[in-house]
Chains A and B, each alone.
Chain A
Amino acid sequence: MRFAHAMRGIRKQTNGWLFVGLTGAAVVLLPVFSIFISLFHPPNENWQHIKQYLLKDYVLQTIWLVLFTGIFTVLIGVALAWLIAAYDFPMKRFFRWALVLPLAVPPYIAAYTYGTMLSYTGVVQKTLRWFEVPVNPRFFDVMSLRGAIFIFTLVLFPYVYMITRAFLERQSGSYIENAVLLGRSPASIFVRIVLPISRPAIAGGLTLVLFEVVSDYGLTSYYGIRTISTAIFQTWFGMYDVDSAVRLAAWLMAGIVGLFILERALRSHRKFSASTSKSRPLVPKKLRGIRASAALLFCGAVFAFSFLIPFVQLLVWAFWSYEDVLTSGFLDLTYNTLSVALISTAIILFFSVAAANVCRLQANGFAYVLSKLVTAGYSIPGAIIAVGVLALFIRLDQQLAPLYARMGLGESPLVLSMSLVMLVTAYVARFMAVGYNAVEAGFEKIGTQYTEASRLLGHGITRTFFKVDLPMIRGALFSGAILTFVEMVKELPLALLLRPFNFETLATKTYQYASDERIYEAAVPSLFIIGVSFISVVVFHQLGKKLER
């Protein structure tokens, strides 16, 4: 009797959801573990050198960069989300989705674009010279820590904006209406209510920003900023020491997981799900006169700097170079980019939902650490993850060699690691964080009470998911899909190392030119990346609207 009871308990825990969640975790964790293991190898003499000369300076610069980018992205992202969610003003409907567009601009492209625009030969100084305004070139020096913070903020704030806006629009109605009824001023509502209740959403967006900044190599190396990422690559490319590079990456990841545990401890006793049975969407208030203009101006300025200006500049450059660069091959490039990104997005969402659902329903420490490890892969520079995935696949191919031989593929060929399976796996491993965070934020705000009610009424986890949970996290799922998809359209380091022969994406084509400082030629593929992301944002947006009805 007791035994049967225990068995039932085990069966209750181990279901298809757990299985899929664990598979997803395994895809991410295997390469991540292969990196972590390096911490247990004895360090070599290069490690001493790194500790002595590089570490302190690089860690400090990384902290400054992350800190200020974090502050600014939250300020801009949350302010915009609040404006769009809570007010009506001219062109709001346009800005609502247009403010997501800066995500389509890869940070390294934005870095090159602003760097060249503000350089001596760039349009800004040229125009000033033409009007004979004396120019101090140092004033326009964007290639500095300040400049890097500026660029990162511009292209990354949409993470915070998007996730926070989705949250505010759907969930915050009753709190804010009550506050208004109680006579709170808008500023006080923003500080005392909006910021605290959107904390999980902000944290979700901010996490992505932080990961993106920490793992970036393109922008930081071009601007000469010394971050941990640059140190990793200096060790690898300069000292030819992959092991120490991987070791650095492992420390970086350990630090990031540590940060999460801290954040978790800080909000351990709070729950952020809505406790009312019905969470009303926020009804926007109409702004008039000077306030409407101010809102319009703010949104317009952010949009202009983060998207419009670089976009127009790239258009001008593309106009100079398209004759040499643009060929019918771009159709293939676009097709390649789209297909890999679509497949990977589908897989990521599938695993994210499963893993997040499991973690939510079995809220224990193990599930939490697992979920954070799953996303921590995002904090490591892509090239390091790539090495982990590469090692894994080559080993897998070696294991499968007898099978290949029987299939008549020859002696120990590389089948999997010469196919797109490797690249897609790497995408899933690296970008799980993006999908997962969005989905998790969605689950977090609905809490478990509906699910529990449904289970009490006799539905299984799966039926409950499709009937109860899925309709409620649809919005989050959509933001997750856009974010992941756009992220992969512009992804570079993984595609660069893990692609099969003759496989080019738009990003690798961009890199081909940009790495050689040929920014005008790079403008053409960059515009394709932006175009593809643009269209996908619009399509997702329309789909999302249709579903909401």
Chain B
Amino acid sequence: MMKARAILSLLLAAVMITVLLAGCASGPQQQTGQNGSEQQGKQETGASDQQKEQVVNIYTARHYEVDDVLYQKFTQETGIKVNVVKGKAEELIERLKREGQSTPADLFITVDGGVLNNAKQSGVLQPVTSAVIDENVPKQFRDKDNEWIGLSTRARVIVYSKDRVKPEQLSTYEDLASDKWKGKVLVRSSTSLYNQSLLASLIELNGEQKAEEWAKGIVNNLARAPEGGDRDQAKAIVAGVGDVAIMNTYYFGQLLYSKDPEEVKVAEQLGVFFPNQDTTGTHLNISGVGLVKHSKNKENAVKLIEFLTGEEAQALMSKENYEFPVNPKAQKPELLQSWGEFKAQQIDFAKLGEHNKKALEIMNKVGWK
């Protein structure tokens, strides 16, 4: 008797927890208005399709504040609500893959051409057709099947100590592997996608063997074992650990306009050099957006891509984040203008994805930590 009551009370507790859980779970879900029940309800009450809440659902691996600002602007202009899940690119691709046809996502946004290509290869994207987008974004910043569209680019450049290095001494990425830079090169770890993509681009341009020799040369020339992020490499130059570092342009912008006066001082002591101007061009990394294959709000999604690649949005993105706009008409901020025009690597971004695995294998082999 006693036992039966005890079991009953336990079961009751379990049920209560489940109810609590479900209650909490449904709260934010209804807010997002994407689970369908809300829309369904409205349809049943005879509301027309236009009154149904218009949404576009995004999985994004870009974590910049300016993106949220742009989504808000988009909602203001069009009345389309933007729902966002932020995460890591590869994890989001995995989520898209597993969700398959049922996925609620309409757009996938990420940084790095290799990852964009990986998303394409994974079969989670579909081609975008829009004259506006074709007009906004030059061909080299789009996937050849338009499965993803570039949003912004960043150059992976060489920064150097203004005191100890003359810009004339610098020339190419390849040169950093030569003996004259022994113990002077700084670069972050091979876990960084930026380094993997850089090496992938060198595999494409110079071939696997040359690329491996280069990676080996870089490792031999390192001033210290790779650690920290891109900005930490810049600081290490000023601290005197090394003389030159490989880093992304927008990190340099962040340093220069940092709230910490010490960081500004660091940036002021450094020069920015765009390598390979006489040869293959400076390595570019691209961030972009793809239309999800099983998108349920395709029209809205395309509208958002059109908005994000538009002149105004591009200028804002560039201003806030020191990234290069893909729309040639967009106004660039002062810092980017001061660097002038430069020659960029002319390779298909898809190749970066194709060679990524090889790049990582090489890095592991030569001991690039």
Write the nearest CB–CB distance from A455 to chain B, whole angstroms.
12
Write the nearest CB–CB distance from A250 to chain B, whole angstroms.
17
Q: Given that A20-B10, A120-B236, A137-B236 are contacting pairs, would A350 and B17 also be in contact in the complex, using a CB cutoff of 8 Å? A: yes
A15 to B231, CA, bound (A): 59
A443 to B84, CA, bound (A): 44
| Contacts of A403-452 to chain B: CB distance below 8 A | 407-410, 412-415, 417-421, 424
Is A366 located at the chain interface by the 8 A CB criterion? no
Using a CB–CB distance below 8 Å, which chain B residues touch chain A? Answer: 2-3, 6-7, 9-11, 13-14, 17, 20-22, 24-26, 28-29, 31-32, 34-37, 40, 44, 57, 63-65, 83-92, 94-95, 98-104, 118, 188-191, 193, 196, 224-232, 235-236, 238-241, 251, 254, 258-260, 262-263, 265-266, 356-357, 360-361, 364-365, 369
Chain A: which residue is nearest B196 at the CB level? A238
Q: Given that A240-B118, A501-B104 are contacting pairs, would A419 and B63 also be in contact in the complex, using a CB cutoff of 8 Å? A: no
A502 to B14, CA, bound (A): 29
The reply to whether B35 and A239 contact each other, CB–CB distance below 8 Å, is no
Is A463 located at the chain interface by the 8 A CB criterion? yes
Chain B: which residue is nearest A387 at the CB level? B94
Q: Mark A101-127, 1 if CB is under 8 A from B, else 0.
A: 000000000000001000111100110
Our pick among A53, A223, A339 for the contact of B365 (Cβ within 8 Å) is: A53
The reply to whether B266 and A418 contact each other, CB–CB distance below 8 Å, is no
Q: Given that A120-B266, A138-B241 are contacting pairs, would A496 and B21 also be in contact in the complex, using a CB cutoff of 8 Å? A: no
Q: Given that A223-B227, A417-B99, A496-B87 are contacting pairs, would A126 and B262 also be in contact in the complex, using a CB cutoff of 8 Å? A: yes
The reply to whether B232 and A408 contact each other, CB–CB distance below 8 Å, is no
The reply to whether B369 and A226 contact each other, CB–CB distance below 8 Å, is yes
Q: Note all chain B residues with C-beta closer than 8 A to A420.
A: 21, 24-25, 28-29
Is A499 located at the chain interface by the 8 A CB criterion? yes
A503 to B100, CA, bound (A): 22
List 22 A-B pairs, Cβ < 8 Å.
A15-B7, A119-B235, A121-B266, A137-B236, A141-B224, A221-B189, A234-B360, A238-B191, A240-B118, A241-B357, A320-B259, A343-B17, A350-B17, A394-B100, A410-B36, A412-B102, A413-B104, A414-B102, A462-B7, A497-B88, A500-B29, A516-B63
Is A508 located at the chain interface by the 8 A CB criterion? yes
Q: Given that A394-B99, A502-B32 are contacting pairs, would A15 and B239 also be in contact in the complex, using a CB cutoff of 8 Å? A: no
The prevalent SS among residues of A at the interface is helix
Q: Given that A224-B226, A496-B86, A515-B63 are contacting pairs, would A410 and B17 also be in contact in the complex, using a CB cutoff of 8 Å? A: no
Q: Note all chain A residues with C-beta closer than 8 A to B238.
A: 120-121
Write the nearest CB–CB distance from B339 to chain A, whole angstroms.
21
The reply to whether A398 and B102 contact each other, CB–CB distance below 8 Å, is yes
The prevalent SS among residues of B at the interface is helix
A2 to B356, CA, bound (A): 69
Known: A119-B239, A223-B227, A503-B28. 20 other contacts (CB 8 A): A16-B3, A16-B11, A20-B14, A121-B238, A137-B241, A221-B189, A222-B227, A224-B225, A238-B356, A239-B356, A343-B24, A350-B13, A383-B88, A412-B102, A414-B103, A418-B35, A419-B25, A424-B21, A424-B25, A497-B91
Using a CB–CB distance below 8 Å, which chain A residues touch chain B? Answer: 15-17, 19-20, 23, 46, 49, 53-54, 115, 119-122, 125-126, 137-138, 141, 143-144, 221-224, 226, 230, 233-234, 236-242, 320-321, 324, 336, 339-340, 343, 346-347, 350, 383, 386-387, 390-391, 394, 397-398, 407-410, 412-415, 417-421, 424, 460-463, 496-497, 499-504, 508, 511-513, 515-518, 520
Chain A: which residue is nearest B7 at the CB level? A16
Write the nearest CB–CB distance from B125 to chain A, whole angstroms.
15
Q: Note all chain B residues with C-beta closer than 8 A to A391.
A: 98
Write the nearest CB–CB distance from A258 to chain B, whole angstroms.
26
Our pick among B35, B229, B360 for the contact of A517 (Cβ within 8 Å) is: B229
Q: Note all chain A residues with C-beta closer than 8 A to B356.
A: 238-240
Q: Given that A224-B369, A520-B260 are contacting pairs, would A240 and B90 also be in contact in the complex, using a CB cutoff of 8 Å? A: yes
Chain A: which residue is nearest B32 at the CB level? A501
Q: Note all chain A residues with C-beta closer than 8 A to B258.
A: 520
The reply to whether A230 and B104 contact each other, CB–CB distance below 8 Å, is no
A86 to B53, CA, bound (A): 64
CB contacts between A and B, total, < 8 Å: 230
The reply to whether B28 and A408 contact each other, CB–CB distance below 8 Å, is no
Instruction: Identify which of B13, B32, B190, B191 gathers the most chain A CB atoms within 10 Å of its CB.
Output: B191
A340 to B356, CA, bound (A): 38
Q: Note all chain B residues with C-beta closer than 8 A to A502.
A: 28, 31-32, 83-85
A234 to B84, CA, bound (A): 26
Write the nearest CB–CB distance from A360 to chain B, whole angstroms.
17
Q: Note all chain B residues with C-beta closer than 8 A to A125.
A: 239
Chain B: which residue is nearest A242 at the CB level? B94
Q: Note all chain A residues with C-beta closer than 8 A to B259.
A: 320-321, 520
The reply to whether B364 and A221 contact each other, CB–CB distance below 8 Å, is no
Chain B: which residue is nearest A17 at the CB level? B10
Q: Given that A137-B240, A224-B369 are contacting pairs, would A511 and B91 also be in contact in the complex, using a CB cutoff of 8 Å? A: no
Our pick among A144, A387, A412, A413 for the contact of B227 (Cβ within 8 Å) is: A144
Q: Note all chain B residues with C-beta closer than 8 A to A46.
A: 357
Q: Note all chain A residues with C-beta closer than 8 A to B65.
A: 324
Q: Given that A119-B232, A121-B263 are contacting pairs, would A421 and B21 also be in contact in the complex, using a CB cutoff of 8 Å? A: yes
A410 to B280, CA, bound (A): 52
Chain A: which residue is nearest B28 at the CB level? A503
The reply to whether A54 and B35 contact each other, CB–CB distance below 8 Å, is no
A320 to B2, CA, bound (A): 62
Q: Note all chain B residues with C-beta closer than 8 A to A237.
A: 88-90, 191, 193
A409 to B39, CA, bound (A): 9
Write the nearest CB–CB distance from B66 to chain A, whole angstroms.
11
The reply to whether A421 and B3 contact each other, CB–CB distance below 8 Å, is no
Q: Note all chain A residues with C-beta closer than 8 A to B3.
A: 15-16, 460-462
Write the nearest CB–CB distance from B137 to chain A, whole angstroms.
24
The reply to whether A221 and B35 contact each other, CB–CB distance below 8 Å, is no
Q: Note all chain A residues with C-beta closer than 8 A to B232.
A: 115, 119, 143, 517
Q: Note all chain A residues with C-beta closer than 8 A to B28.
A: 336, 420, 500, 502-503
Q: Given that A383-B91, A500-B85 are contacting pairs, would A115 and B228 also be in contact in the complex, using a CB cutoff of 8 Å? A: yes
Q: Note all chain B residues with C-beta closer than 8 A to A141.
A: 224, 227
The reply to whether B94 and A221 contact each other, CB–CB distance below 8 Å, is no
Write the nearest CB–CB distance from B288 to chain A, whole angstroms.
17
Chain B: which residue is nearest A126 at the CB level? B262
A264 to B241, CA, bound (A): 48
A346 to B16, CA, bound (A): 11
